């Protein structure tokens, strides 16, 4: 199972994915890590760990469409079975999403459909929810909206700040994406005609 992971910064989710594939001997390979920003420290980490690390900088392109086209071409070169967005902070065009339809996943730091968009932890605290978490979903043209593959929940504590909550969620993100990558590598994830996700062998 050929994977390409897209990042914009630290890439802690990407690092977890790489470590999971390697330490658990999964039938999968992270063929490349691609970032849209030159200062994404995850690129250095990937390179240092023997993974092709590539920059496709959105600032180098005049329009969103041109960037997305260049990004799609860079990804296609690796012939991925799945493209995993991990801390990738760009809204992708419908054309890009369609090109990778059914093969493009993202992790969002909230229990979707609650709190789409940015600053999810501030949203959770402002709303007073008692449970928060993260969601791995297939990407569709509607932002933070696609078919849900897996979710992980964390309690919101009385003295939580956005940072303490973000840290608790990030720990679950790592476990969640590792679980989903195992399922993808084992070929157990499918989307039915109603765009519902089925994971073979999982309730």
Residue 108 designated active-site:
yes
Rounded to whole angstroms, what are the CA distances from 172 to 39, 42, 101, 191?
A: 25, 19, 26, 24
Annotation-wise, does 64 bind a ligand?
A: yes
| Residue 10 touches ligand GRF, criterion: CB under 6 A | yes
Pick out residues in 60-99 that bind ligand GRF (CB under 6 A): 86-87
What letter does residue 84 receive in the DSSP assignment?
E
Q: How far is the CB of 167 from ligand GRF (least distance, A)?
A: 10
Pick out residues in 19-48 that bind ligand GRF (CB under 6 A): none
Q: For the CA atoms of 37, 109, 31, 138, what is the dihedral angle to 10 degrees?
A: -120
Rounded to whole angstroms, what are the CA distances from 137 to 38, 55, 65, 70?
A: 27, 24, 23, 24
Q: How far is the CB of 138 from ligand GRF (least distance, A)?
A: 16
| Residue 160 touches ligand GRF, criterion: CB under 6 A | no
From the list 12-20, 53-61, 94-102, 183-191, the region that binds ligand GRF by CB under 6 A is 12-20
Annotation-wise, does 106 bind a ligand?
A: yes
Pick out residues in 166-185 that bind ligand GRF (CB under 6 A): 166, 170, 173
What letter does residue 92 receive in the DSSP assignment?
P
Q: What is the 3-state secondary structure (H, E, C) of 132-169?
A: EEEEEEECCCCCCCCCEEEEEEEECCCCCCHHHHHHHH
Report whether 109 contacts 169 (CB < 8 A): yes
From the list 7-15, 43-51, 142-150, 189-197, the region that binds ligand GRF by CB under 6 A is 7-15
How many of the other CB atoms lie within 10 Å of CB of 15? 19
Phi, psi of 90 (to 5 degrees): -125, 145
- The catalytic position among 49, 99, 108, 174 is 108
Annotation-wise, does 11 bind a ligand?
A: yes
| Residue 135 touches ligand GRF, criterion: CB under 6 A | no
Pick out residues in 98-127 that bind ligand GRF (CB under 6 A): 107, 109
CA dist 141 and 64 (Å) reads 14
List residues near ligand GRF by CB under 6 A. Answer: 7, 9-14, 86-87, 107, 109, 166, 170, 173
Annotated binding-site positions? 11-13, 64, 106
Active-site annotation, residues: 108
């Amino acid at each position: 199972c050929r994977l390409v992971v897209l990042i914009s910064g630290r890439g802690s989710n990407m690092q977890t994915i790489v470590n999971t594939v390697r330490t658990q001997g999964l039938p999968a390979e992270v063929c490349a890590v691609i970032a849209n920003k030159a200062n994404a420290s995850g690129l250095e980490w990937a390179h240092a760990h023997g993974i092709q690390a590539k920059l496709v900088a959105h600032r180098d392109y005049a329009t969103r469409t041109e960037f997305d086209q260049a990004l799609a071409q860079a990804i296609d070169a690796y012939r991925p079975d799945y493209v995993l967005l991990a801390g990738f902070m760009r809204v992708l065009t419908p054309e890009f999403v369609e090109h990778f339809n059914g093969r493009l996943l993202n992790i969002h730091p909230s229990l979707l459909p609650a709190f789409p968009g940015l600053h999810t932890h501030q949203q959770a605290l402002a709303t007073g929810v008692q449970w928060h978490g993260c969601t791995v979903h297939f990407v569709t043209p509607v932002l933070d909206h696609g078919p849900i593959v897996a979710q992980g929940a964390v309690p919101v504590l009385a003295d939580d700040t956005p940072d303490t909550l973000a840290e608790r969620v990030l720990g679950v993100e790592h476990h969640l994406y590792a679980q989903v990558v195992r399922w993808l590598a084992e070929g157990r994830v499918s989307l039915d005609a109603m765009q519902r996700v089925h994971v073979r062998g999982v309730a």
